[in-house]
Amino acid sequence: MTNIAESPPAALELRSVERVYPGNPPVPALAGIDLRVESGEFVAVVGPSGSGKSTLLNVIGTLDRPTAGTMHIAGAEVSALSDRERSGIRAEHLGFVFQQFHLLEGADLVDNVAAGLVYRGCPRRERRRRARLALDRVGLSHRLTHRPPQLSGGERQRVAIARAIVGEPTFVLADEPTGNLDSVNTDVIVELLHELHAQGSTMIVVTHDKDLSATFPRCVQMHDGRIVGDLS
């Protein structure tokens, strides 16, 4: 009998995912989301305010639990895991980039980026070594001893991206990564995201910026908690 090799699991797969927030009446935020993202993809999630894109990112990032449906990350079903187990999934598989940077103002860049490895149990020396490598990847090897207040907005976002990729996560989740930047720094960050994707990173970026989303190979459009378009 010929053995047929199974295809590798997707980096991410959501099946019939719903998220309803309690209230009177309850507030539906996601309504039957089906989404599959393969390893190495570069996906934009777009939609108007209130469309559910940020809720979707929070669910994908295991920061919020789906009310119904299932979600697999790297083949593992994570919907019903305990909080501790979900924290482990985040530490191993997910890297986050936020619009507001969320950097430690009093720490140098190496320690800021190394913080992304704290929950992996790496010794401090190894965390700092890997942080320096990540900062080099985003073009900040000349700023290692600087602190966030000494940086421009674009440089701060590059530090945040370095923190997201330092653990070589299964994929990087970015929430409006250019939302607080001027056009010059936006172009720098967009170019960096494309460079990281070319190096093998799987990227999911939530944005309302149509110009930004147009540069991505795949664009998932949301409206009223549903996926209404998926263009490649």
167 belongs to a structural domain: yes
Helix (H) or strand (E) holding 11: none
201 belongs to a structural domain: yes
% of the chain surpassing 90 pLDDT: 62
197 belongs to a structural domain: yes
Any idea what the CATH number is for the domain that residue 171 is in? Answer: 3.40.50.300
Backbone angles phi, psi at 43, to 5 degrees: -120, 130
Q: What is the pLDDT of residues 84-143, one digit of tens each?
A: 888 888 888 899 998 888 899 999 999 999 998 988 888 999 999 999 999 999 999 999
Mean pLDDT of the chain: 90
Q: What is the pLDDT of residues 66-88, one digit of tens each?
A: 999 999 998 889 988 888 888 88
74 belongs to a structural domain: no
11 belongs to a structural domain: no
Q: 131 forms bridges with which residues in the sheet?
A: none
% of the chain surpassing 70 pLDDT: 97
221 belongs to a structural domain: yes
Q: What pLDDT, on the 0 to 100 scale, is given for residue 1?
A: 47
Whole-angstrom CA distances from 171 to 12, 23, 153, 167, 220 are: 9, 33, 24, 10, 16
Query: 3 falls in which pLDDT band (50, 70, 90)?
Result: low
Q: What pLDDT, on the 0 to 100 scale, is given for residue 66?
A: 94
27 belongs to a structural domain: no
Name the DSSP letter for residue 151.
S
213 belongs to a structural domain: yes
Task: Please give the distance of CA 133 from its chain centroid, rounded to a whole number.
Answer: 20
Query: 7 falls in which pLDDT band (50, 70, 90)?
Result: low
Tokens of 113: 């980026």
Q: Model-level pTM?
A: 0.87
The domain in which residue 121 lies consists of 41-57+83-231
Question: How many domains does the chain divide into?
Answer: 1
Q: What is the pLDDT of residues 20-51, one digit of tens each?
A: 999 889 999 999 999 999 999 999 999 988 89
